A and B are shown apart, each in its own frame.
Chain A
Amino acid sequence: MRNLLWAIPLFPLIGFLINGLVYLLSHRTKGETHGHGGGYGTDAHTAATAPDTAHDTGHDPGHHEIPFKGLHTVVGVGSVVIACVLAFGAIFDIGLKAFSEGASHSITLWRWIPLAVNQAVGQIPGSAGEWFVDVTLRIDSLSALMLAFVTFVGSLIHLYSVGYMGHEEGFGRFFAYLNLFMFAMLVLVLGGNFLLLFVGWEGVGLCSYLLIGYYYEKNYAADAGKKAFVVNRIGDFGFILGIFGVFGLFGSLDFQKVFAAAAANPAAYTPYMTVICLLLFVGACGKSAQFPLYVWLPDAMAGPTPVSALIHAATMVTAGVYMIARCNVFFRLAPNAMIVVAIVGAFTALFAATIGVAQNDIKKVLAYSTVSQLGYMFLACGVGAFAEGMFHVTTHAFFKACLFLGAGSVIHAMGGEQDIRRMGGLAGKIPRTYRTFLIATLTISGVPFLAAFFSKDAIKAAVFHAEFQAVPWLPKLLYAVALFTAGLTAFYMFRLLTLTFWGHFRGTKEQEHHVHESPATMTIPLIVLAFLSIVSGYVGVPIIEHGDRIGEFLRPIRLPIAGMPERVHHAPLSIELGLMAAAVAVASIGIYLAWSWYSKGEGRTPARLAAEWPGVYRAVAHKYFVDEAYEKVFVRGLALDGGRFLWEVDATVVDLIPNGAAAVTRGASWMAAAFDQYVVDGLVNGVAYALQSLFQLFRRAQTGRVQNYALVMGGGLFCLVAVYLLFR
């Protein structure tokens, strides 16, 4: 079975080809009668029925006969199920025990890029220095873990999509894209070197773009797709620079060779590692939606819900964590980069969780929750707890997929409604969805003995015990942030659950009449995922001897670095239990507040709070104006009047400072006012003026005339050659 590794990505690829071709051919003829030139454009009915609120189930009254629906179903789901069977076959063929002892298996399909470079150039003693890239698929414990849940969750979501997308005209197109995504994701996971990882990385990015823009005839979906694509390019730029750095330094991109070389001879590589790790981390930030590149993920919810579940929650967005765990040798050699990773992770977790509190779109809440949980995973990686991070990746894949699919089931039942203010009381009407959603919500909130309790607890314990030599007080602060975020998570998730399923129905009569339980193809995946959200945590039980199976399973990934002793931490049992108790207490507070405010109080308390602190509420509800800021600075800033942006910041965000200050220090309000008047305004106006002049300069550079650009290119050439001549 292990030698069939190449067949695992092959089947989804075949599925993509068949589905894509059949769809294209079957829609070519239709398109002509329709009057369009191409084959697309027959999904127009979804646009016609779509109200203003984001809505993605195609409930149109006139059911079309979808051509080749059976074929698309069999090929689309079948190919992924076969890949899943092959994947588990390969994993069990090698054996879990063998994996945890460091077994791996690789097949080299062909030599991809042979380079005949001068062997002596850029080569450090101990590096591979082979200067070629092979197409190598490799399975070791880390990729086995990813492979297992990617193919399994992927199969379930494909099955779910059969029901969810059943009425869509673009059924075949959807499955073609989804299969292509599975192919790219499997290449990403199985790739045995950085370049193949990058191929998969770009492939999943492309599919993400295609699927976010699935309802391409609607502007917001097309725009969201473009946004995701552009933001990801920023990250990918950093990533590929990092890959260049690795290739230049080691003369190889093969994971095994590169990491072995770095671990064997750390002194030679350490000086370069901070730069390389930060570049790789920029890539991870883009793909895994970390601050400040997270903005695409909430918008990505414009895609169909199964896509949100599969790509934007369970698999693709965790690729960044996977990559960092894969490169753990590098990161351990670069403690400063680790600190950056930890801080960005913790900040993203907190930041996204606070935004999630004020969202009213069921999918947006889950999206911000995903960003927040990804922040957790990066926090884990940043403190060196790579196995714990991957543990959370795994449990998160199950419960977040379950939440998203549950949300999809709710949206399906509500006929496309996504606003939780117009739901309520659905528990009795769609009981299976409700039960599974409840389980997943309890899991993500950190209720004891469910999956995320163990994985989050492992992360928090690792953060608590972490040691940063440069900033010794940082781990405790990060722990506090993580703990507070856990409380927020419990709060907004129960707010979501309460508003959606409890209380009384707040939608229209028509919607109430329409509500119905989803078909079995949708509920079966929900039940399986809910079950896994309960049990998947037991692979990493702390305290008990040999309880942390997943840590042992992933241990071979963490190569011992020469001259760097592995710190084995055995905290006293009392501290471990204390940390758990704190986590449970915080989660309980969050759940209780959400329940009492939204279930009993019918939202009076939050309304009062929002009225009392309008500035804070506005900032949170508008996601801290980050999108607006990006729009102003990057999208229009260079083309239009960039300087105006800061004047608007002055008018909106900075007003918060006086607002907040006045509330907190009412006694010394005259001081705050004076501060506001002279210091803040003066500062902001000054900076605004400076930036305005700067943006004017940039703006003048954008003449739109190609020849100006060509001249500037000549200048760039001059600089490059001059630098080369000076430093050769």
Chain B
Amino acid sequence: MTITINHYLIVSFLLFSIGFLGVLVRRNFLTILMSIELMLNAVNLNLIAFSRRLSDLTGQVFSIFVITIAAGEAAIGLALTISFFRQKKTLDVEEAHTMQG
């Protein structure tokens, strides 16, 4: 079985779409955060595939940066989760609608 960059891109595309869908449809704050992590992972997959395809290490370096950002994002997101939970006693984002017009 020969694998070209297109296979990688399709896998990465699907992974990203699943993550995006998760962000759009889930009610649970935590699951939304996890879906965002999935999307970031899809980006990493893309970077690695292109890095290999073009024989350039830059892609790998950038995927390390993406992991860094993801770590920071997870830390802040989880802190927000706890803040949110303490205020609303729930993790349902439907409860967060103070901005409703």
Say yes or no for B54: interface residue by CB 8 A criterion. no
Q: A702 is contacted by which of B24, B93, B99 (Cβ under 8 Å)?
A: B99
Give 1 or 0 for each of A697-713: 1 = CB within 8 Å of chain B CB: 00101111111001100
Known: A706-B93, A707-B93. Is A639-B101 also a contact (CB below 8 A)?
yes
A249 / chain B contacts, CB cutoff of 8 Å: none
Query: Which A residue sits closest to B25, measured CB to CB?
Result: A707
Query: Which A residue sits closest to B94, measured CB to CB?
Result: A705
Residue count of chain B within 8 Å CB distance of chain A: 12
Could you write out 9 A-B pairs with CB less than 8 Å apart? A640-B101, A699-B101, A702-B100, A703-B97, A704-B99, A705-B94, A705-B100, A707-B25, A714-B20
A707 / chain B contacts, CB cutoff of 8 Å: 23-25, 93
Q: Nearest-CB distance from A176 to chain B (Å)?
A: 30
Query: Which B residue sits closest to A704, measured CB to CB?
Result: B100
Give 1 or 0 for each of B68-101: 1 = CB within 8 Å of chain A CB: 0000000000000000000000000110111111
Query: Which A residue sits closest to B101, measured CB to CB?
Result: A702
Cα–Cα distance between A710 and B97 once the two chains are bound (Å): 14
A706 / chain B contacts, CB cutoff of 8 Å: 93, 96
Asked whether, in the complex, the Cβ of A638 is within 8 Å of the Cβ of B23, the reply is no
Cα–Cα distance between A701 and B25 once the two chains are bound (Å): 18
For window 8-31 of B, CB contacts with A under 8 Å fall at: 20, 23-25
Asked whether, in the complex, the Cβ of A704 is within 8 Å of the Cβ of B24, the reply is no
Cα–Cα distance between A706 and B97 once the two chains are bound (Å): 8
Cα–Cα distance between A41 and B101 once the two chains are bound (Å): 33
Tally of A-B residue pairs with Cβ under 8 A? 33
A702 / chain B contacts, CB cutoff of 8 Å: 99-101
Asked whether, in the complex, the Cβ of A704 is within 8 Å of the Cβ of B101, the reply is yes
Query: Which A residue sits closest to B97, measured CB to CB?
Result: A704
B94 / chain A contacts, CB cutoff of 8 Å: 705
Asked whether, in the complex, the Cβ of B24 is within 8 Å of the Cβ of A710, the reply is yes
B100 / chain A contacts, CB cutoff of 8 Å: 702-705
Asked whether, in the complex, the Cβ of A638 is within 8 Å of the Cβ of B24, the reply is no
Query: Which B residue sits closest to A637, measured CB to CB?
Result: B101
Asked whether, in the complex, the Cβ of B97 is within 8 Å of the Cβ of A638, the reply is no
Cα–Cα distance between A704 and B100 once the two chains are bound (Å): 4
B99 / chain A contacts, CB cutoff of 8 Å: 702, 704
Cα–Cα distance between A711 and B94 once the two chains are bound (Å): 15
Q: Nearest-CB distance from A116 to chain B (Å)?
A: 12
Asked whether, in the complex, the Cβ of A705 is within 8 Å of the Cβ of B97, the reply is yes
Cα–Cα distance between A638 and B100 once the two chains are bound (Å): 11
Q: Nearest-CB distance from A706 to chain B (Å)?
A: 6
- Nearest 5 Cβ contacts at the A-B interface: A702-B101, A704-B100, A704-B99, A704-B97, A639-B101
Apart from the given pairs A706-B96, A714-B24, 7 other A-B contacts in the complex at a CB distance below 8 Å: A702-B100, A704-B97, A704-B98, A704-B99, A705-B93, A711-B24, A714-B20
Q: Nearest-CB distance from A599 to chain B (Å)?
A: 52
Query: Which B residue sits closest to A638, measured CB to CB?
Result: B101
Query: Which A residue sits closest to B20, measured CB to CB?
Result: A714
A639 / chain B contacts, CB cutoff of 8 Å: 101
Query: Which B residue sits closest to A705, measured CB to CB?
Result: B97
B101 / chain A contacts, CB cutoff of 8 Å: 638-640, 699, 701-704
Q: Nearest-CB distance from A661 to chain B (Å)?
A: 38
Cα–Cα distance between A640 and B101 once the two chains are bound (Å): 7
Q: Nearest-CB distance from B101 to chain A (Å)?
A: 3
Q: Nearest-CB distance from B47 to chain A (Å)?
A: 18
Asked whether, in the complex, the Cβ of A710 is within 8 Å of the Cβ of B23, the reply is yes
A640 / chain B contacts, CB cutoff of 8 Å: 101
Query: Which A residue sits closest to B96, measured CB to CB?
Result: A706
A710 / chain B contacts, CB cutoff of 8 Å: 23-24
Cα–Cα distance between A699 and B24 once the two chains are bound (Å): 21
Query: Which B residue sits closest to A711, measured CB to CB?
Result: B24
Q: Nearest-CB distance from B42 to chain A (Å)?
A: 15
Cα–Cα distance between A611 and B96 once the two chains are bound (Å): 53
Query: Which B residue sits closest to A706, measured CB to CB?
Result: B93
Q: Nearest-CB distance from A520 to chain B (Å)?
A: 53
Query: Which A residue sits closest to B99, measured CB to CB?
Result: A704
